[in-house]
Structure 1
Amino acid sequence: MAEQDEQKLDETKADTVADTTAATDVKDVEDADKDSDNGEDFGISMDKVEAVLNKSADEAAMTPQMRKMFARQQENTKRVEESIKGTKSNPAWFVPLFCALLVIGLVWVVVYYMTYDYPIPNIGAWNLAIGFGIMLVGFLMTMWWR
């Protein structure tokens, strides 16, 4: 009976040691993840990486990895600048003008429906055509908006 108790005690100790070892392994993996997040898994600190990206590092002191990263960053910057240059935009007055035309046309139609004579007296339903024409011009301008 004493042998069985001693054997169970040894098994319990072995399980405790295994649990402790597993916990230590998990902690080591977590520490490795933290190190890789800091950029230390390649042997380059984040300060050096930021210096390269900000163009404040000396090129002679750069490692080949840092030079490749720097060249890639310059290429991406150049590509973005070229795409920005290629875009066209409307003048500053474009959006306010088409919004104003839409609103003026709407007001024109509403005024005619409320008075049946104004905004231009004695032309009757042509006031509707004028109001809708003004709104149509504003709407067509929205299709050219960039």
Structure 2
Amino acid sequence: MPKSQVRKKKLYTAPSDIRPAVAEASKKPSPTWLPATAVILIVVGIAWLVIYYLSSQAYPVASWRYWNLAVGFGCMVASLGILSRWR
């Protein structure tokens, strides 16, 4: 029995009028404050959580109770959002 031929699919190439706009946007470097802000937010978030647990939930803000966890994790999630914009 004869073997069937394997068909090769052509690779998709974007139209030439769209491609230059995408290339220009990707070449723009991110500002220098962006990674610094992200690192600061990570450090603040971790420090907030460590202080909260080591102080037996008395510090940084005792009246917030478990919302202190939201602040600490919120800082870290915000830093991930900032780092997603880094090029």
**TM-score category of the 2 structures, normalised to the smaller one:** 0.5 to 0.7
Structure showing greater Rg: 1
Report the TM-score when normalising by structure 2. 0.66
Q: In 2, distance between residues paired with 1:132 and 1:94?
A: 19
Cα shift at 1:93:
0.7
**Greater than 4 Å deviation, 4+ residue runs:** none
Q: Aligned match of 2:47 in 107, 125, 138?
A: 107
Cα shift at 1:114:
0.6
Q: Aligned match of 1:124 in 65, 78, 87?
A: 65
Q: In 2, distance between residues paired with 1:92 and 1:144?
A: 12
SS at match of 1:117: coil
2:35 alignment partner AA: V
Cα shift at 1:117:
1.3
Fraction of identical pairs, as percent? 35
Q: In 2, distance between residues paired with 1:139 and 1:102?
A: 9
Query: What stretches of structure 2 of length at least 5 have no aligned partner?
Result: 1-22
Map Cα deviations across residues 2-33 of structure 1 (whole Å, 9 max, x no partner). Answer: xxxxxxxxxxxxxxxxxxxxxxxxxxxxxxxx
Q: Is the 8 A contact 2:45 2:75 kept in 1?
A: yes
Q: Is the 8 A contact 2:34 2:83 kept in 1?
A: no
Partner of 2:33: 93
Higher normalized contact order (CA 8 Å, seq sep 6+, divided by chain length): 2
Query: What stretches of structure 1 of length at least 5 have no aligned partner?
Result: 1-84
Report the TM-score when normalising by structure 1. 0.40
Q: CA RMSD in A?
A: 1.4
Cα shift at 1:123:
1.4
Cα shift at 1:120:
1.1
Query: Aligned pair count?
Result: 62
Q: In 1, distance between residues paired with 2:51 and 2:80?
A: 20
